Amino acid sequence: MKLGVVVWAEGTEVRFRVAEGARVERGMLAKVEDRGRVYVIRVVDFKPESLLSPAEVAVISSKAGRGDGVLLRDRDLRLYDTAIATIVAQIDEDGEVHGPTSVPALFTPVVELERRDLERLKLHTGDLPIGYVRFGHAPVDVVVALDGARAIPHHFLVVGGTGAGKSNFGRVLAASVLSARGRYSLVLFDCENEYLLGSKPGEMGLAHLPLSEEYLLLITHRVPRPGRLRIELPELGEERKIPAYPLKMDLSRLKPSDFTLTGEFSAPQEELLWLAYKQFGEEWVSALLSADSRTLYSRLSRLVPVNTINVTKRKVKHLTGDGDIFCRDCGYDLATAALSAVQRGRVVLIETPFATEGEEKLLATCVARRVFHAYESLRKEFPEKWEELPPVLIMVEEAHRYLGKQALGSGDVRENIFSVIAKRGRKYKVGGLYITQMPSELMEAVVRQALTKIVLSLPTKPDYTTIINHSPYLDDAEAEIKTLDRGEALVVSTPSGFRFAVSVKIFRYEDYARTLIELQRRELEAGAARAAQHEKEKI
């Protein structure tokens, strides 16, 4: 269908006159065919063209205001809409797709992009599906999928205001990673119990996917000891037995780095932690918590002022909480369990609905630190083993709390594990999945270095300006970002091979889960049938 005619082309911008009756929407892709080349363009905004004089506007608007009929002579010559678009790709005669190197001639027609053209852009060839291509508010039947192996080490940034669909995206991504059957791993911290079963009745979670029995590790207060957690799913008429580990970490398994990499300790306090570790060995945290400051002062050979001991004790107490998660003599070590699952390509879901802010921080730090450390040392010591490790993505909700502008480099506050991963994780296949409502509060380097960005509806100017300023392809995206509805996103992912900001309707998790459930059921049944046949042949 014809959408219009090119009336201006300069640099990578194309303006076209919108044809009478054509429906053109912001974010929509269209094409211009000229001398054997196809230019794929993306509509970014609109501008009316008017050759009416101010006097005519005054007369006509006044008439229209009174409800009188308006008759405008030569209307189509003097008043029309133009759409402003950017050329996002050029497809040459041989089918080669690349960035634009020329512009279409004036007055060439602009037409709708066909499915075949859309497929040539290779938005669907990645292995982590996240949604559908979207024209305006209407999804099109072409899937958008990220390329896990390339995108994960380069970090993901998910931004959006309240209720924009961040958690829904998190669940969709987790489902895609789970369905990749061990190719990648993902660590999720879920403080609102949203991921396992969804956040309210009628929603779904990772437990609904049949593959969760094999590829999910749940770390949760729901089980007293390692084993499988039985979950009834009446809406599917099924039950799952999901591998689970208690949300417990023995204090004796904590190392000083687990604390220092929270970024909460000053240099003298850090020294005290190491000194205590040297003095008390495995019992060091218990000793710091229970011995009084005077006793510690003398046990530590009077090397540390009592004041520092007091402050450090208070911080350690804040981070370890009341003993529910960080326990004495319980013998559990959730961080090691998480690491071992990560190395086998699992989705590790850590549920922390009752944790305090301090406990959450220490938990996230000690899990992320172990994963990073293990990947880093394997790469250095046993590169061939490291090669076999799946790339891992570690999620951080409220990322501005860990990667805030003020959080680093000023006064007493120190580097933390997530800023380390943001800077150095890429080399070791450790990526961060940073989720925040306030990207303007993030360190600029983090916004810049996250090469995959999922931009959901973001109402405030400083927030979307930060994103636009530090991402490719978003220069003209302001108008679209402001008008995104719930679940709609602009996706930038250079590692996935996307050459422009793709307008995406993120799958609604429940819809996506239903297709995956069907698919996985069939795969599992086929697998079981093959195994039975194999057995029979052996007999």
Ligand X SMILES: Nc1ncnc2c1ncn2[C@@H]1O[C@H](COP(=O)(O)OP(=O)(O)OP(=O)(O)O)[C@@H](O)[C@H]1O
* 101 is a contact residue toward ligand X (CB under 6 A): no
The conformation of residue 404, written as its DSSP 8-state character, comes to B
Minimum gap (Å) between residue 143 Cβ and Mg ion:
24
* 165 is a contact residue toward ligand X (CB under 6 A): yes
Q: Which does 160 bind (CB under 5 to 8 A by kind): Mg ion, ligand X, none?
A: ligand X
Q: Which is nearer to Mg ion, 167 or 312 (CB)?
A: 167
From residue 67, how far is each of 52, 58, 59, 155, 246 by CA, in Å?
20, 14, 13, 56, 71
Q: How far is Cα 99 from Cα 4, in angstroms, rounded to an integer?
A: 23
* Contacts of ligand X in 479-498 (CB under 6 A): 486-487
SS3 515: helix
User: What are phi and psi for residue 361, nearest 5 degrees?
Assistant: -65, -45
Region from 143-151, 157-165, 209-217, 226-234 binding ligand X, contact rule CB under 6 A = 157-165
3-state secondary structure 520-538: HHHHHHHHHHHHHHHHHHH
* 416 is a contact residue toward Mg ion (CB under 5 A): no
Q: Which is nearer to ligand X, 162 or 301 (CB)?
A: 162
SS3 206: helix
Q: How far is Cα 252 from Cα 533, in angstroms, rounded to an integer?
A: 50
Question: By rule CB under 6 A, what count of residues binds ligand X?
Answer: 13
* 320 is a contact residue toward Mg ion (CB under 5 A): no
Region from 163-171, 281-289, 491-499, 524-532 binding ligand X, contact rule CB under 6 A = 163-171
Q: Are 431 and 452 in contact (CB under 8 A)?
A: no
Choose, by CB under 5 A, the member of 12, 167, 176, 312 that binds Mg ion: 167
Beta bridge partners of 80: 49
Q: Which is nearer to ligand X, 110 or 456 (CB)?
A: 456
SS3 392: strand
Minimum gap (Å) between residue 162 Cβ and ligand X:
4
Q: Which is nearer to ligand X, 129 or 160 (CB)?
A: 160
Q: Which is nearer to Mg ion, 117 or 397 (CB)?
A: 397
* Contacts of Mg ion in 147-166 (CB under 5 A): 166
| Closest to 152 in 3D by CA, of 442, 452, 386 | 452
Q: Are 400 and 443 in contact (CB under 8 A)?
A: no
Question: Which amino acid, residue 176?
Answer: S
* 160 is a contact residue toward ligand X (CB under 6 A): yes
Q: Which does 487 bind (CB under 5 to 8 A by kind): ligand X, Mg ion, none?
A: ligand X
Question: Which amino acid, residue 204?
Answer: M
By CB under 5 A, name the binding residues for Mg ion.
Answer: 166-167
Residues that bind ligand X in the complex, under the rule CB under 6 A: 160, 162-168, 437, 486-487, 506, 508
